[in-house]
Amino acid sequence: MDLRPLKQFLALAESLHFHRASLECHVSPSTLSRTIKQLEEQLGVALFERDNRSVSLTAQGVKFKTYARETLSQWDIIHNDLLADAHELHGSLNIYCSVTASYSFLYDILKQFRPKYPGIEIKLHTGDPEPAIQRVLAEQEDLAIASRPDALPVGLAFQSIAISPLVFIAPIDFPLLDHSHHHSASELKDVPMIVQETGTARSRIDAWFLDSKIQPHIYAQVAGNEAIVSMVSLGFGVGVVPKIVLENSPLACNVRQIHTTPALEPYHVGLCVLKKKLKNPLIAAFWEEHI
């Protein structure tokens, strides 16, 4: 079966960029354009709206995107069921995580997984940690390494692989805070804070200040823990990051940890996947390797 048209369609539907999608599929932009045109002719509808500046999915394209994902997923399931007698699994897994998670956790995971399943190709996508779960829920990724939210979304399976404290960090020389004792929320209320825009860490910080009825001074809201460490190291204010990020940061020597009372609730890091996707033998093999 030639599944390339569906794969090329999905690549364009995710990136909405012909050049990036053609690179991902190892074809030229003109070849990708012809594939999409042939699909549209076969279906009798336009899947994309495109002009010289942008590409977007039509309503029909959104429906076909769901079909394409399910078709490729079902193909993987039946393909690997047929190979089960030979004890072989072939195909690809899309995994998303932050850069920090890739070398803190993924290296050890793949070191165990690859020798057992050499026929499974790993496609790794890295970026800010906060969109990780949403990318899994949207079926843009098969699995992700992410922090566990306080309320786990319906249909999502999560297994913890590490626990990291959430810590306050400040520049080495920061006149607004001394080194002598643990600090409370009231002592930090006038200190410029650098926090994440959204996510688990942000909700923990907000709750920590709210419990003390303190309105913090938010200096900057950023995406990504590494960006927080960078801004703190430059002296812009105090930030909160998972300790594992701090320990692996090249800028760790430019900041210091601030001890607080009470401490923030720890940060649970783990693998997440849609429960329905555990029917896929490739995804199940990766998942069961760590149960």
The full DSSP string for the chain is ---HHHHHHHHHHHH--HHHHHHHHTS-HHHHHHHHHHHHHHHTS--EEE-SS-EEE-HHHHHHHHHHHHHHHHHHHHHHHHTGGGT---EEEEEEE-HHHIIIIIHHHHHHHHHH-TTEEEEEEE--STTHHHHHHTTS-SEEEEEPPSSPPTTEEEEEEEEE-EEEEEESS-TTS-SSS-B-HHHHTTSEEEEESSSHHHHHHHHHHHHTT---EEEEEESSHHHHHHHHHTTS-EEEEEHHHHHH-TTGGGEEEE-BSSPPPPEEEEEEEEGGGGGSHHHHHHHHTT-
Evaluate whether 170 touches 177 at the Cβ level (below 8 Å).
Answer: yes
pLDDT of residue 176: 67
pLDDT of res. 65: 93
CB 93, CB 121: distance < 8 Å = yes
Owner of token pair 């090329």? 8
Q: How far is the C-alpha of 220 from the C-alpha of 173, rounded, in Å?
A: 20
Between CA 212 and CA 36 the distance in angstroms is 57
Residue written as token pair 């990504």: 224
Compute the mean pLDDT over every residue in the chain, rounded to the nearest whole number.
87
All structural domains of the chain: 1-64 (1.10.10.10), 83-161+268-291 (3.40.190.10), 166-265 (3.40.190.10)
Residue linked to tokens 């002592």 = 187
Q: What pLDDT shows up at residue 84? A: 62
Low-confidence ranges of the chain (pLDDT < 70): 83-87, 176-181, 291
Q: What is the pLDDT of residue 180?
A: 61
